[in-house]
Structure formats: structure tokens, C-alpha cells
Structure 1
Amino acid sequence: MNPFTHGWNAPGSSGNTVPQPSIFGALPYPTRSIPTMFMSFLFTSFAPTILDSTVVGPKSKTYFRIETDVPTVGFTVIHNAANQPMIIIEWLQHPVIEIRDIVSKRETANWLPLSVDKRYRTMNALGKKFVWAPDGRYICLYSAGLGSPQIYARVIREEGEVALELTSEAIQIGLLEICIAAVLLLQCDRKID
């Protein structure tokens, strides 16, 4: 046995011990990365599109109901579980969105502007800037700015439904309604710019 490697993860050591932080905190040590946990929300029951659908969340609970052209033609209204209208989209030549108490009435092109190179969309909400960008099969919502981007949500379209997965932090900071609105716009197959 090599006394210089005993208890360390090095060739010749048993590798069975978990690295511990230094006593004084001055030396780095490996940490185990905690996998990001997501809560899933499914846009389902398309009638015939996502613009007339239901959003089902954890425990198969209905969180939102989406209706287009009811009761007024040219509008999509997203009601919460208490049947209160939370999000209104007016389908004008330049569509307009409003998210009650969160996003004041504005053009969707200004709320979710497409980048110059058309590779991603930015989104301002809750006093922060976010980025919707493709990542493999997903469209992901990341924090914007300097440093490592933090993922808040991801979206995937599968046959007959769209899945929105949010981190617990995204829910805690109030991104649920915002992401529901953004996903609807990104997946509705209508012009939003």
C-alpha cells in the first residue's frame, strides 16, 4: 500500500472513501452535482390545436384551460384552475399579450423578441432577462447574462401534447404563468413577430 495515496482517489487506492472538505476550507474538493428536478405540465386535449387545450400538472390536476375565439373572436384566453382569466392574447397583425399582474399589455414581438441571428428569443419577466434557446430536442429557458446560465424550464413537443418542465426554483420565483404563455406562443404555429 502506498501511504501517499491511502484514502485518496488515486491509482492504487481503494477509492472507497468520499472526499471531505479541507479543515480550513482553503482547498477545493469535488462535490456531487445534484440533478435538476423538474415539475411537468402537459398541454393536452388539443381541440384541434394547442390554442384550445388543457394544461395538466402534478397529480393530474388541471392548472389551466386555454380557449381561442370564445367568447370573442380573435382572442386566446388562458384561465387558471379557479376559472379566472390569467393570460389574454389578442391576435392582431402584431399579436398582443397581457399576463394579469405580471406582464402589462404589449406586443408579443417585444415580449419575446427573436435574436438577430434567429437562434434564440429573449424574454423579460419579473425584472430579469431570460433566454429561450433550442437544446437538442428541447427548447430551454435559461437565465441571461454573465456567468453560467441556469436552466429554469424546458419544452418538448410530442405527438398530441406539449410538455413544459419547470424547476422548483422557477415555480418559486413565479415563472409558471409566464412560461405557460411563452410556450403557447412558441408552439402555436402562428406568427408572433
Structure 2
Amino acid sequence: MEWNSWLDDYYARYQAAIFDPAIRGSLEAFHALCLDVRANGRKLMFAGNGASASIASHGAVDFTKQAKVRGVDFNEPNLITAYSNDFGFENFMAKAVEHHGDAGDGLVLISVSGRSQNAVNAARTARERGIKVVSFTGAKADNPLREVSDIAFWCDSKAYNIVECTHMIWLTTVVDMLVGKAEYSVS
């Protein structure tokens, strides 16, 4: 295999996704939401499945520690298993929002497909409770999570690694926007 050509194509996919000029409006809107959440002593709640759960957990820590926006995630095994057992896996995130969310909070949901029923149900519950929904999706543009979000980040790719890494870059971009610079002490 000729790797140079393959790599050129592969990284061109990242470049097209990450640096899409259309995403700037979403970055600015998410930044503004975070400023409001921080100023009003509210919180951001994060959730996802699989690798998106790891991105959500990373986001909760970085928003709390670096950006001074209190963040929590719903990826604790005890929470997932207890809520899934009692309310069904498709409802565990919605029940977590119901039990932990307050009006004025923000909910960040990460799902490559945008079709994970537990994330869609959580978004609907959040909207009913006056909680703004920020979603990070990919694959098809017409996904249900994107449709029920106040701020919708969408990566035009069906390649899971490209979508997930793009989500991570967009998420941490907003952290750095809140800090006001790209290089800073983390201790």
C-alpha cells in the first residue's frame, strides 16, 4: 500500500471536518452558554456512550479545572448500572438529568450517530426542564439528537475516529476560549 497518498486523504478528512468555517458559530454560541452557566453558578452535565463517554468525562474535568465552569458527567459505572437496571438503558441519561439537572444548567451530549436513544431521551428531558442542550454528532446530518439540540455540532463524516477526535478538538477549543489562550498552566 502507498501510505503517503492514504495519509494525505486521511488528514484531509480531518482538515475538512475540524476547520469547517460553519462551526465557528456553534463554538461562539457554546462559549456564550458557558459564560452564562459560570456567571450564574450553574453547571454543565456531560454524557455519551463508548468512546464518547470518555470524551464527555474529559470535558467535564477540563471545563471544571481549566475553564472554571462546573462540570459533571454521567459515566460513573454505579450510576449507569443502577439507573439502567431501574429505568432501562434508554432512559438512564434522562433520569440522571431529571435527578441532577436544574434550570439554567447545560447538557452536553456526545454521540457519533446522533441516534442513541438514551442521549435523545436525555435531550428531551433537559429541554422540558429549561436546560440548554449542546450536542456533538456525526454521520448523517438529519439525526434526532441534532434536531432536539439548542447548539448542534455536526461532523460531516461517517468515520468514527475522525468524528470522535473532531468532537474532542471542538470541545477543548471552547475550554481554551473560556481560558482566553491556548497555552497556560494546568496546575
| TM-score above 0.5 | no
| Structure with the largest fraction of strand | 1
TM-score of the superposed pair, with normalisation by structure 1: 0.28
TM-score of the superposed pair, with normalisation by structure 2: 0.28
Q: Which has the larger radius of gyration?
A: 1
| Structure with the largest fraction of helix | 2
